[in-house]
Structure formats: C-alpha cells, structure tokens
Amino acid sequence: MVTAKVWVLKKHFEGFPKPSDFDLKKIELPSLQNGELLLESVFLSVDPYMRPYSQRDMKEGDIMIGTQVARIVESKNPAFAVGAFVVANSGWRSHFISDGKGLHLLPSSWPESLPKSLALGTVGMPGLTAYFGLFEVCKMKPGETVLVNAAAGAVGSVVGQLAKIGGCKVVGCAGSDDKVAYLKKLGFDEAFNYKTVTSLDEALSKASPDGYDCFFDNVGGEFSSVAINHMKKHGRIAVCGAISQYNDSVPQKGPYVQIPMIFKELRMEGFIVTRWNNRREEGQKALLKWVLEGKVKFHEQVTEGFENMPAAFIGMLRGENLGKAIVKV
C-alpha cells in the first residue's frame, strides 16, 4: 500500500492565502485495478489561477487543484510504461492513481539535458498561453511594439521572447530591479519596475513614445486603465490575467476603458489557453525548438519539498518568483 500526501483547502482564502488555509493529509492508496497506473509527483506547479479557481471550483476540504510532472511507478495500463513521465492535472498530491485519461506523456523528443519541469512552464501551459495569446489573440506583426506586464514570470517572460523572435519591439515591466535586469538579459528593448517608477504614464510614454500595438495583459486593474491610453490606433489587447485582483477581498473599482476603446477602435479579447487544447502539440513543438536553439531562455523558481507547496504558492502570488514557480518533491 502506498501512502499519498495531499494538501487540502482547509479554509477558503480571504485576501492573500495564509498557511493556515491549508492542511496536509495522508491517504492510503488502494492496489491497482486493470487499466490503472500509480504515479509519483516529481515536480508540481503553483499557478495564479489556483487563487480565483479555488473560489469558483472548490469547497473546503477539497484537494488543491493543480498540475504536475509525474513518474509512472506501477502500471496495469499497456499504454503507459513504468518509468515514463507525464503531465497530469491531479492536484497537490505526492502520489496518485490514474486510469490514463488526461495524462500527457512527455514528448519522446524531450532531451535528457532539459529539466522535465519545463513541461509545467516554458514548454507547458504558461508557454502555450504566451504562444497562443500572442499569435492568435494579439496577432502581432513584425515591426510592432508589444507591452507585457508580469514580464519576468512564467507567461510574461515567454511573451517577451516570442515577440522578439517575431521581430517586435518589446517593453516589459516587473516588480523588482532584479527582474528588470533579467528582462534586459532576455532581450527586452525596454523594461521598468512598475513599483518604483514615479508615474506609470510617464514610464509607458518613455518606453515607447509612439505607443503600443499589442498589450499582453497579465495583471489588469490600475495598470490596464493607464496602459490602454498608450495603445496605438487599431491596437490589440490580450486579456490573459488579472492577478492584481485575485487576492482582493473587495473588488477594485472597475477601470473605465470604454472611451479609449472607442476612439482608438481597440480590440480587447479575454482568453483561456485551453481554447487551443487541440493545438497543444504544435505549440509545445515550437516552444521546445526555440528553447533548444537558445532563442527562448527560461528561469525556474524551485521550492524544495512537498511540504512547502503553500509557501511556494503564496510566494508566487507575492511576486517572489522569477520565472516559473515550481515545487520539486
């Protein structure tokens, strides 16, 4: 019998999540039935969506939602061999049983030299978010100017690099000077610390006096209300996330975007990356190629130990991560 450790949502979050909102429990896993496989999590992802989705999709006592890279340790399913690695969406669990549905085997072309945790970040859901958000929503064109916030994060750092590959000028912002330095290293044309600039308006004008063709918005809130006034005519805004609002106990006063939307004839489109689940392989192949060519660099904020999942999650929401936040079991 295998004993699995799981993190449950003990209490719904009020404002920022607190360690006391989580509970670590143990579950005895049964023996496998035919067609089932036993997996152990090797890397687990902590993502911003878990904060709003917990409110919408979870009840107290549920195991926290999330994805992991897991290794198959026992199999009664001929489609999955022991020793293989998969991406699963099984939540914050150290071990779990699956019938194989919803498991994505890591591409056979995955080089040994590349950390498998990238399947949770640059070459996984966040990377695909950047890929499809840029190519399908922003529809960026060479020579255009792209703005991205939370630019040193899992999604934002890929957005900036793909926009450079696409021949664009790229402006990014992040919440620390170290992150800004990282953006410059990645090849961003302009980067600033939104927490320390005296005026966001001036910083956006200075970074691109002519304004922005594409705005990849990961943050929402006040930033978006200011940034929208810097959009060029016929600009496009990909509303990817609103992390500035996820931890609000009281919703922020809505940004009034209607006027610039009208006179600039902007297109603003929200999206969820699962819209392109049928093109996951295409995106993953392209991202893997760019990573192997060195055109897309990555950084991971690795927290050691399953017991530190809540800390990693809270830290990411507080901006303590540079690049993709993951937990190594």
Smallest gap, in angstroms, from Cβ of residue 329 to ligand NDP?
20
156 binds, among ligand NDP, ligand L2RGU6JD, none (CB under 5 to 8 A by kind): ligand NDP
Residue 67 site contact among ligand NDP, ligand L2RGU6JD, none (CB < 5 to 8 Å, cut-off depends on kind): ligand L2RGU6JD
- Binding partner selected for residue 145 from ligand NDP, ligand L2RGU6JD, none, CB under the kind-specific 5 to 8 Å limit: none
Nearer Cβ to ligand NDP (88/227):
227
- Find the helix packing angle between 177-186 and 156-165, rounded to 10°: 30
Q: Which does 120 bind (CB under 5 to 8 A by kind): ligand L2RGU6JD, ligand NDP, none?
A: none
Q: Which of residues 81-110 bind ligand L2RGU6JD (CB under 6 A)?
A: 89
List the structure tokens of 213: 């063709």
Distance CA 274, CA 5 (A): 28
Binding residues for ligand NDP (CB under 6 A): 47-49, 126, 129, 150, 152-156, 174-176, 179, 218-219, 240-244, 271-273, 316-317, 319, 321, 325
Is the separation of the CB atoms in 285 and 107 below 8 Å? yes
Reading phi first (left if > 0) and then psi (alpha if -120 to 50, else beta), residue 55 is in: alpha
Is there binding between residue 49 and ligand L2RGU6JD (CB under 6 A)?
A: yes
Minimum CB–partner distance for residue 198 and ligand L2RGU6JD (Å): 30
The token pair at 35 is 């067609």
Indicate whether 252 belongs to the interface with ligand L2RGU6JD (CB under 6 A): no
**Could you tell which of ligand L2RGU6JD, ligand NDP, none binds residue 65, using a CB distance below 5 to 8 A set by kind?**
ligand L2RGU6JD
Q: Which of 65, 181, 197, 322 binds ligand L2RGU6JD (CB under 6 A)?
A: 65
Q: Enumerate binding residues for ligand L2RGU6JD (CB under 6 A).
A: 48-49, 52-53, 56, 65, 67, 89, 125, 241, 272-274
